[in-house]
Amino acid sequence: MTRKLYILNGSNLNMLGVREPHLYGSTTLKDIEQNCLALAETLKFDCVFRQTNSESVLIDSIQEAFMQDAALIINPAGFSFGRIPVLDAVKLIRRPVVEVHITNIHRRSEEYRHSTISVAATAVICGAGANGYSLAIRAVDDLWGDQH
């Protein structure tokens, strides 16, 4: 059985490396993608990596992950805060779901502290910088258990 993993990224993450580097660092999303695909291959995941600034496209990708019986790593970015349609889509996923945030959202201003997506996540990783994605892949591998 091939294990499928979707790594989905929300709004403005395509601007990593240039957008608020004092918060998000200088690592680009392309750098993160390359690292994720390499680690996923090592751990024997068939991996899809995407980014969108569109909520409807993000929902379509989550639904696709559901149809593929895939695990999900999601950095919903701005879609984290009060986006019920994204939450409803995430609730479909039967495999592990790990929510990732590059910054520690709990140390940020109030509007960034409460992700609605977290209630549907198996695990949440925040504040580990770009390395949070690698931690999330390893968490999915551990959480998947003996199913591979």
Report whether 6 contacts 70 (CB < 8 A). Answer: yes
Q: Is 75 annotated in some ligand binding site?
A: yes
> Which one of the listed residues 101, 106, 112, 148 is annotated catalytic?
101
Residue indicated by tokens 């919903």 = 76
148 is catalytic: no
24 is catalytic: yes
The span from the CA of 75 to the CA of 91, in Å, is 15
Q: Is 88 annotated in some ligand binding site?
A: yes
The span from the CA of 19 to the CA of 15, in Å, is 6
Structure tokens at 8: 């989905």
> Which one of the listed residues 22, 24, 133, 148 is annotated catalytic?
24
Binding site listing: 75, 88, 102-103
Binding site listing for substrate: 75, 88, 102-103
Would you please indicate which residues are annotated as catalytic (active-site) residues? 24, 101
